[in-house]
Structure 1
C-alpha cells in the first residue's frame, strides 16, 4: 500500500559530497547486473546499488508495520502512512510539498505488515537538492491534531475502495495468524477518528528507531550514501521487540452476496530467515500459476490444468514471505455455483499433490524471468532491497537470488507442498452459498 505525496526537502545542505559526482548515467532504465553493497553506520544498515540510472531512489525503511500493532492501537500504521508529508519538527506541510514539486521529485510512503518505507525519487540532481526533506519526514514526526483530523476522509475512502481480492487476502492473514501478522493493513471502521496524535507519537517512539532502520539507495554511490546517513539523526532509543506471530490456521468467511466468490487457501510457507525454503515457496507459486505471460493466452499452471470446470474462473498461486514465517497457496474468483468444486480441487492438490521435475524446471524459469524483469524497475528493486535489508540484515542482488533459485530441487518444492498441506487456512468473500467450510473439507 502506498500513499503518494508530493513533498519537499529539509536537511543540512550537503553540497560538497553529492550524487552529482556519481558515475555518468548509461541506459535510460539503468543496468540490471549490479552489485549490492552493505554496511552499518551508527547502528543503521545501509544497502545500495549503483545501476547507472539517471533516476536516483533513496528510501528509509523501518521494521514496523501492522504486525507491531496491539489491540489498543489497531490501525495506527494505516494512519501513520497517510500522515507522511504532514508538518514535521523542521518543515511545514506546504514547505515539503512545494520544494519537492519544484525540482520534479516525488516522495511516497509504503506500508506492509512488517515495514514502513519513506522513498524519495527523482533525477540525481533533484534528489541531492531535496534529500533533507526525506530525512525530516522519516525521522522528525510531530502530529498536529488538526492535520490528523483532516485525513479521516481519506481513511474512509481507502476503506470503501478496497478491492474484494485484497480483502480476501487480508482475511486470510487473520485466519492464519489471528494477531501480529494477522492485523489488517487498514484501520477498522470503528477506530476511525480514535487514533490521535498521542497514539501516533507513541507508536513512532517505540518502533521508528535506529535499531529498526535501514537506508536503501539505488542509482547512488555507496560511500556518498553512508556519508549522508551519518548526518541523519535517528532516534537512539531501543525499539519495541518484534511481536511473535506463530502460524495457527483457521477459517474466516465474509458473506456479502453478489454473483462471485473470492476464496484464498494457503498453508504455512517460509520466512526470510530460511532463504532456501523461501525460494522453493516462490518456485511453487509459479508452478501453481500466476497468470499467462502471453496476452489473451490461457494460464496453464498446475492448478488451472487440474481443475475441470466449464464456467469461467481465474486462479493464481499465492506466496507471502515474512521475517520468520510465510504463506503459500492459491486464490481464485469464480461464479458462486462452481466455487465449492474449485475449493475442493484446490484443497486436494495442496494436501495430496506432488510436483515433477518438469513442473519445477518450468517454475524456476518463470521465477528467474520475473526476478530479472523486476530488476529493471527501480521502484521494485528499492522495495525488495528495503524488505530484505530490514528483515535479514543484508540486501541481496538479483543475481544472488537467481543463484539461490537455481539451487532449489524438486524435493525441496515437494517438501514445501507437504508442509503446507498439514494445516490449511481459508478465507472467503462474496457469495459463499456453495463454498464449503474448512471443517467439511478432507
Structure 2
C-alpha cells in the first residue's frame, strides 16, 4: 500500500472520529430529532460541496472563489468539532483509567453520566468560540485592516533620513477580492499614513494577470512623496496554474509585471535604486522571489547590488522571509533592513499586541509575522493585505506597516 493511500486512510479515520465524538456530544445534551438531523445534514452538505469542488476544480482556471469558499466552510465546520473531540476523547481516556483502577483494585466507580453531560456542554461551548471567530473572519475579519507602526534605530543611517517614513504592504492577492468598497477604504487608509516611501513586497495576484483588471483604477490611487517600489512574489510567476503552453505562461508573467507600471510602481527585479535626500542616499534593493523548499529561487543579491558598496545603508525587499535566514542576515554586505511578506501569518492565530503572538505559521517559518532582530539587522514580515486559499482572517488581521527610520 502506497504512502499516499495510507495518509488518506489516516485522515479519513481521524475525520470520522472527530465527527463521531462531536455528534455524541450533541446527543448527550439533546434528543431533538430536527436538531440532530440538521446537524448531520449541514455537516454532510459541507463535505459534499468540498469534494465536489476539489474533484471538478480545474487548475487552468487558477484558484477560484468557489474553491476558497469550499475550504473556508470545511475549516469553519470541522475545526470547532476538533475541540469537542479533544475534550471528550480526553474524558474517555480518564474514564478508561478509572475503569482499570476499579478492575485491578476491586473498587467501585461512581456513575459518570452527570459528568458526561457537563463535559459535553463544556466541549460545545468551547467549540463555539472558534466557530464564531471563523464566521467573523470570513465576513469581516479579512477587511479588518490594522496600521502597525515601528521605529527602528540605526547608527549608520544617513543623517538626512532621520525620521524618514516607509509604508509597507504585501500580498495583495487581487484575485480573491469580493468587496470593492472595503478595498477602496483600505487604499485610502494607506495614503492617510502620508509616508515618504511606499513599498510593496510581492504577490499582486493569485495566478493570472487578469485578476487585477478590475482593481487597476483603485490601486493606481496609492501615493507616496518619494515614490512607490515593488517586487515579485511566488504567486506572480503563474506556477500554480496549468497553462496550455509555455508561451501562455510567459505572456501572463509579462502582463503581471506590466501591472506594476500601470499602478505607478517601479518594479525591481534583482535591481536597486538610490533614494536621495539633502545630498545623502540609501540603497533600495529589490530581488525576485527566493524561498526555501520548492519555491522559486530567482532572487540574486549580487546582481541586485551591482554598483552598491558594502558601506552604504541598504533596505532589501525580498518576498519570502526564509531568504533572510538563508542568505541575508549573515551576509557581509550588510543589509540593514529587510522587508518581506509571503506567510500571511497563515491568516489565523492569536495575537495580544506586546504580549503574545501565535499561529501555526510559526512551525513553518522562523520569522512569520512582525519585526525580528539579530545583531543590528532587522527583518519585518508583513501579515499581508489580501487573503488566499482560506477566504478570511481570524486573529491575524490584514496589515499596513509604517516604519520610521531613526539615527541611533
For normalisation by structure 2, the TM-score amounts to 0.24
Give the TM-score taking structure 1 as reference length.
Answer: 0.22
